[in-house]
């Protein structure tokens, strides 16, 4: 019998979550990820030279597939897989599809078929990684785009992935973290900059938290992120066990 006989409990640990973290260049995204539990970086671009981390540099989609297959075998001690950056991983996927069909660009593969094949392949691999028993962190940069509605236009900050790839990633992840600089008065009364991650949806930036365990804003500090997640988990457990 394939149909379930009981409900699936919510995943409890960060090692079970799929996270997208994005923001300006050099704000500290990779350093933040490096503090994740037993982290392995799939490095698709330079940028980890100042960090002491376990990393596998990949230059092509074929190489990424080999690394993913080895991760899936499970003969390792890693608990968190980090693709840094997912933007470059998507570019490699595009190049892989074009090479396979002998095309210079996806548009050369007739009737929009190239784009569809690329997106399906990208979704297949990222989705498979997300289903593995490890945390999956996807790193991206940020950009401003203009959104046009019936009532006017406004600017929104989003990951730098192409639109279709962005929709795939946003649909897969459990947590979307936007890295930002918050300006506020310091102890001496002068303006001070604070690096933060924003976790809740907003009209002017992309963020979200399906776990519903995180506060709106957290310092860009992995230990504080874990503490906030654990507090939210304990609060959820208390509320669930309280008499109705």
- How far apart CA 233 and CA 241 sit, in angstroms, is 12
On average, the pLDDT of the chain sits at 90
Q: Could you tell me if residue 156 is inside a domain?
A: yes
When pLDDT is averaged across residues 38-64 and rounded to a whole number, the result is 94
Q: What CATH number is associated with residue 106?
A: 3.40.50
Q: Could you tell me if residue 79 is inside a domain?
A: yes
pLDDT at 236: 62
Q: Could you tell me if residue 5 is inside a domain?
A: no
pLDDT at 238: 56
pLDDT at 115: 87
Q: Could you tell me if residue 88 is inside a domain?
A: yes
When pLDDT is averaged across residues 14-25 and rounded to a whole number, the result is 92
Q: Could you tell me if residue 154 is inside a domain?
A: yes
- How far apart CA 20 and CA 140 sit, in angstroms, is 8
pLDDT at 1: 63
Whether residue 94 is preceded by a cis peptide bond, meaning omega within 30 degrees of 0, is no
**pLDDT single digits (tens) 208-224:** 999 999 999 999 999 99
Q: Could you tell me if residue 3 is inside a domain?
A: no
13, pLDDT greater than 90: no
Which residue segment(s) compose the domain that 54 sits in? 14-238
**pLDDT single digits (tens) 82-103:** 999 999 999 999 999 999 888 8
242, pLDDT greater than 50: no
Q: Number of structural domains, the chain?
A: 1
Q: Could you tell me if residue 31 is inside a domain?
A: yes
Q: Could you tell me if residue 4 is inside a domain?
A: no
240, pLDDT greater than 70: no
**pLDDT single digits (tens) 170-205:** 999 999 999 999 988 777 778 888 999 999 999 999
- How far apart CA 220 and CA 13 sit, in angstroms, is 19
Q: What DSSP line would sit under the chain, residue for residue?
A: --S-SSPPPPP-SGGG-EEEEEESTTSSHHHHHHTSTTEEEEESSS--TTS--EEEE--SHHHHHHHHHHHHHT-S---EEEEE-HHHHHHHHHHHHHHHTT-SSGGGSTTTHHHHHHHHHHHHHHHHHHHSSSEEEEEEEEEEEEEEETTEEEEEEEESS-HHHHHHHHHH-SEEEEEEEEEEE-TTSSEEEEEEEE-S-BTTB--EETT--S-SEEES-HHHHHHHHHHHHHHHHHHHHS--
Residue with tokens 């919510």: 10
Residue 106 neighbours by CB under 8 Å, 6+ apart: 94, 97, 98, 114, 115, 117, 118
Considering the chain, what percentage of its residues have pLDDT values greater than 90? 72
pTM across the whole model? 0.91
């Amino acid at each position: 019998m394939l149909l379930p006989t009981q409900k699936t409990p919510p995943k409890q640990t960060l090692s079970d979550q799929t996270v997208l973290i994005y923001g300006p260049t050099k704000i500290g995204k990779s350093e933040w990820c490096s503090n994740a539990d037993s982290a392995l970086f799939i490095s698709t671009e330079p940028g980890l030279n100042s960090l002491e981390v376990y990393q596998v540099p990949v230059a092509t989609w074929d190489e990424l597939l080999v690394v993913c297959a080895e991760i899936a075998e499970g003969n390792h001690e890693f608990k968190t897989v980090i693709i840094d950056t997912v933007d470059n991983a998507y570019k490699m996927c595009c190049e892989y599809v074009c090479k396979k069909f002998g095309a210079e660009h996806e548009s050369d593969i007739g009737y929009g078929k190239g784009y569809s094949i690329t997106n399906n392949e990208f979704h297949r691999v990222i989705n498979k990684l997300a289903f593995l028993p490890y945390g999956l962190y996807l790193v991206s940069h940020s950009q401003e785009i203009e959104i046009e509605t019936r009532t006017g236009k406004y600017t929104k900050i989003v990951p730098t992935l192409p639109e279709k790839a962005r929709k795939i990633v946003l649909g897969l992840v459990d947590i979307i973290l936007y890295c930002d600089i918050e300006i506020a008065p310091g102890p001496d009364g002068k303006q001070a900059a604070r690096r933060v991650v924003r976790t809740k949806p907003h009209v002017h930036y992309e963020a979200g938290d399906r776990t519903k365990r995180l506060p709106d804003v957290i310092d860009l500090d992995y230990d504080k992120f874990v503490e906030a997640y654990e507090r939210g988990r304990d609060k959820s457990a208390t509320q669930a066990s309280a008499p109705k």
